[in-house]
Structure 1
Amino acid sequence: MYKKQFPQQFPDNFLWGGATAANQIEGAWNIDGKGLTTAEVVRKAEDRKKMSMNLVDEESIKEAIQDQTTTNYPKRRGIDFYHHYQEDIRLFAEMGFKVFRFSIAWARIFPNGDDADPNEKGLAFYDRVLDELEKYQIEPLITLSHYELPLALTQKQNGWLSRKTITAFEKYTRVVFERYRGRVRYWLTFNEINTGTWGFHETGVVETNLSAVEKETVRYQALHHQLVASALATKQLHEIDPKAKMGCMLARMQTYPASCRPEDVRAAQLEDQKNLFFTDVQARGEYPEFMNRYFAEHGIELQMEQQDETVLAENPVDFVSFSYYMTTVTSAQQGEEVNGNMATGGRNPYLEESDWGWQIDPVGLRITLNEMWDRYRKPLFIVENGLGALDQLEAGKVHDDYRIDYLRKHIIQMKEAIKDGVELMGYTMWGPIDLISFSTSEMSKRYGFIYVDQDDDGKGTLKRIKKDSFYWFKQVIATNGAQL
């Protein structure tokens, strides 16, 4: 009888840590030579349950440029990580972080995206961040593009709709790969690349007077250029720093059928295919066949150059990373919808919801880990997962048992997936310190183990305060996930 032992716990080299983005933490938006980014011209949302990041046109960009304040553009101020990075990294080290995920702001290195020479002050800032991480033996995991395209590239060539942006990206990535060779083992190209099907925040493309078909075509065309740029960056990294690894990053939106009715099952399969299409290209090196039918039936014609397919085929990523916040339900018929982290779908009556209406589904994480492992057979990395909540500071403390409960349940399912045979590299929860919300640009939506004294209007001392979850996660890391 065949018997083989299966893993019982997290691997000894498991990477525990947290994830952030430059446009949500750094601040310092107009100093030391930094250029304006697309994230910094998106106004804060008026309704915390409605995302505002794609309500951008030429007129709103002009207004944003003329407005030199942070009042309507909170991502410009972040939580001032630019000046607090030593304190913040020290707190991460106290928790025992093995890895810290952050992004490089392209416009801090090349203010206009395609300048003749890089901005030395920008490079020097990330030198200092890496120095601090090395002091505490924390691995950096760097995202090259996290919703922060240099705005000048949008104004000059409409962002990723132009192939010229591939060239600009190649120049930027070469500079940072050479600068940080031997210091960074793990890189990601584009954050949640699949969300580019929603528009501006990812692609930097201003869509004016377009029909529905034209708009979708423009988005997939821009995303094709990103996929090519991702492959070229992977090629560069392997040549410049052969020991380093490149990953892709997907906003995973696991979809369930509303019933066992075959039409509903097929509807869910279609949603998952559209979600996984991008990782198919980046991990497998080719466009999946099912997209041929989708493009044809939706009137989408992409312009590709002769070498594009070869570039994609020859440069797949080394590992697959993704964010996971919620699952959705879909049906062949329209039903009540819920929203969260770019996911839109039917309400699941068996799940609880966060303060923002995001449905909480820990078991769904085990399901998606198994499905993605079976599909790609490449190491997986959960680089975002967390709970945005209305934390209350009382007598200098934050008692966030609800966050501990959320994370505990998800980590339990991660361990179950490892027992299932999934090769899981690490887990960087979003975000280890309170930061500006991506979707609404508010501060009230808090994720962190560390409370930051700042309100939605930017008022506060910026003092960092450890929440109850800080001490809980410290124990999780110290025991490598054994004590939850």
Structure 2
Amino acid sequence: MGDDKMTTFPHGFLWGGAIAANQAEGAFDADGKGLSTADMVPYYKKKDYTNLKELMHVTSETIERGMQHASAEGYPKRYGIDFYHRFKEDIALFGELGFKVFRMSINWSRIFPNGDDAEPNEKGLQFYDDMFDEMHKYDIEPLVTLSHYEMPMSLVLNYGGWRNRAVIAFYEKYAETVMTRYKDKVKYWLTFNEINTTVIEPFTGGGVVEDTVDNIREASYQALHHQFVASSLATRKGREINPEFRIGCMLARMIHYPATSDPEDVLQAQIDNQLNLMHTDVQARGSYPPFMKRYFADNHIQLVTEPGDELLLRENTVDFISFSYYTSLISTVTPEKYGVTGGNLFSTVKNPNLKITEWGWQLDPVGLRIVLKELYDRYQLPLFVVENGLGAKDKVEEDGSIQDDYRIDYLRKHITQVKEAVLDGVEVMGYTAWGAIDIISASTSEMSKRYGVIYVDQDDDGNGTLDRKKKKSFYWYQKAIASNGADLE
């Protein structure tokens, strides 16, 4: 091997961006769509909450209010950025950026409004047909997430969400329907978004309402098991429909560092990392790792399984592993010694070596390289960074420009670490920045926490023209893609 460093990414590297249907599409009641779990989450001004995680915590009372609220007002995910009506304009901008891939999700409740419908909603199916056709005009490959926090609400109200095994059959029917419909238009599929969310925030990830169960931890892991089974069934069915499909899993990778060299802190970090990677162990290796037996016993969790589950998981593992990466966390047995910070799904003690965003994310580009190396060492499967980006407040200058150098700096540093991981021998399929365009925040349901390289003129209350505008980062990312990662200046 020579000494020259790689200047570009491998040929065929999939550059792009990512969004979720529930944060972008809007049109929550258009063309036969049913309500989803995301439609229950209102917007709270900062004075109305103390930490980000409570915004994603939905109770029976929250749901009752949401179901009685007939309009989109006050529920930003119901109106999104009107991607439903503006997707052609937005995809043209993605084409101008040079995207090779666009990660998006199909809103389950747009296809089966109640989840258990006898027949799919044709208008919903046609919408995604039209979107995929538009993407292919620009040679953009769809990367489709089947379930991205968009579970039909009827499955929550009538079945209790994913803790009910009956939901598996409804998901399998949904997956078979869309995979059959789009078998010649979509190659890359993800079965669930950030599947570990189900045990972190059970309603968001699994449609499980905490105040309706006696043991929320057990209910969450039961829901998760059903999702593992459903993912395996969808993977098996997808390969029957089109053997050329590449089907992956998706994890919110939250790497834990020990706070000190104290062996107790090191052990705690190991345990925390194991609990995170357990999800990909099941989907990539085909079985629960041995340490989960003790974890279930220690936490009084008794999973109800069926005889065929073990074989199903083992025989239908994924083709690749995708993940989101935003930050790293600190593990310690003495958290009271440290200050606390947090993102949307977690809180952690502060790392004194890292800067923190306004929303509590600790910025750690090198952590992305560590994650890539550890995942590849563990699984020897292709990896795909499908979410990585900076949420920040953007200012429109008097001349109309958005000088988001902070976002360029973030993307440059993280993409550089992906390149370093490739040099380390890691097989990385692609990188999709979150988000391609400003969308409603998953946690706070606000617009002012912006991730996109494309600005959307809309404020936190839904006011604005919805006009799209290219940020400075748009041109930087366009250049980075055109050079296949060689030009990151």
TM-score, normalised via structure 2 length: 0.96
Which letter maps to 1:82? Y
- Cα deviation, residue 182, structure 1: 1.9
Q: 1:374 aligns with which of 370, 374, 377?
A: 377
Residues 7 and 300 of structure 1, relative CA distance in 2, 3 Å threshold? farther
Structure 2: gaps (5+ residues): none
Q: Deviations over 1:284-306 (max 9, x none)?
A: 00000011111111111100000
Once residues 139 and 315 of structure 1 are traced to their aligned partners in structure 2, the CA distance between those partners, rounded to angstroms, is 24
State yes or no: 1:482 paired with 2:486: yes
The answer to whether the Cα contact below 8 Å between 1:170 and 1:233 also exists between their aligned partners in 2 is yes
Q: Which residue of 1 aligns with 2:449?
A: 445
The answer to whether the Cα contact below 8 Å between 1:45 and 1:51 also exists between their aligned partners in 2 is no
- Cα deviation, residue 401, structure 1: 0.2
- Cα deviation, residue 328, structure 1: 0.8
Which letter maps to 2:148? H
Q: Which residue of 2 aligns with 1:250?
A: 251
Q: Which residue of 1 aligns with 2:34?
A: 35
Once residues 246 and 369 of structure 1 are traced to their aligned partners in structure 2, the CA distance between those partners, rounded to angstroms, is 19
Number of residue pairs the alignment of both structures matches: 480
Q: Which residue of 1 aligns with 2:127?
A: 125
Q: Deviations over 1:215-274 (max 9, x none)?
A: 100000001000000000000011101001100000000110001111111010011001
The answer to whether the Cα contact below 8 Å between 1:27 and 1:81 also exists between their aligned partners in 2 is yes
| Mapping for residues 130-169 of structure 1, pairs under 5 Å | 130-169=132-171
The answer to whether the Cα contact below 8 Å between 2:52 and 2:343 also exists between their aligned partners in 1 is no
The answer to whether the Cα contact below 8 Å between 2:355 and 2:362 also exists between their aligned partners in 1 is yes
| Mapping for residues 5-154 of structure 1, pairs under 5 Å | 8=6, 9-47=8-46, 49-154=51-156
State yes or no: 1:316 paired with 2:320: no
- Cα deviation, residue 69, structure 1: 2.1
RMSD: 1.3
Q: Which residue of 1 aligns with 2:229?
A: 228
Give percent identity, aligned residues only: 58
Once residues 88 and 36 of structure 2 are traced to their aligned partners in structure 1, the CA distance between those partners, rounded to angstroms, is 24
State yes or no: 1:293 paired with 2:294: yes
Q: Which residue of 2 aligns with 1:205?
A: 208
Q: Deviations over 1:47-93 (max 9, x none)?
A: 38523444322232121111112222110000000000000000000
Q: Deviations over 1:115-168 (max 9, x none)?
A: 010000000000000010010000000000000100010011011011110000
SS at match of 2:53: coil
Once residues 136 and 215 of structure 1 are traced to their aligned partners in structure 2, the CA distance between those partners, rounded to angstroms, is 46
SS at match of 1:248: strand
The answer to whether the Cα contact below 8 Å between 1:106 and 1:144 also exists between their aligned partners in 2 is yes
SS at match of 1:190: coil
- Cα deviation, residue 342, structure 1: 1.8
- Cα deviation, residue 6, structure 1: 9.1
The answer to whether the Cα contact below 8 Å between 1:257 and 1:264 also exists between their aligned partners in 2 is yes
State yes or no: 1:388 paired with 2:391: yes
Q: Which residue of 1 aligns with 2:220?
A: 219
Which letter maps to 2:110? R
The answer to whether the Cα contact below 8 Å between 2:213 and 2:219 also exists between their aligned partners in 1 is no
The answer to whether the Cα contact below 8 Å between 1:7 and 1:418 also exists between their aligned partners in 2 is no
TM-score, normalised via structure 1 length: 0.97
- Cα deviation, residue 210, structure 1: 4.6
Q: 2:361 aligns with which of 355, 358, 362?
A: 358
State yes or no: 1:172 paired with 2:171: no
Once residues 187 and 113 of structure 1 are traced to their aligned partners in structure 2, the CA distance between those partners, rounded to angstroms, is 20
Once residues 54 and 437 of structure 2 are traced to their aligned partners in structure 1, the CA distance between those partners, rounded to angstroms, is 23
Which letter maps to 2:293? N
- Cα deviation, residue 397, structure 1: 1.1
Q: 2:189 aligns with which of 175, 178, 187?
A: 187
Which letter maps to 2:205? E
Which letter maps to 2:483? T
The answer to whether the Cα contact below 8 Å between 2:52 and 2:344 also exists between their aligned partners in 1 is no
Which letter maps to 2:367? G
Once residues 24 and 3 of structure 2 are traced to their aligned partners in structure 1, the CA distance between those partners, rounded to angstroms, is 44
State yes or no: 1:419 paired with 2:426: no
Q: Deviations over 1:333-386 (max 9, x none)?
A: 113222114232211000011121210000000001000000010000000000
The answer to whether the Cα contact below 8 Å between 1:252 and 1:275 also exists between their aligned partners in 2 is yes
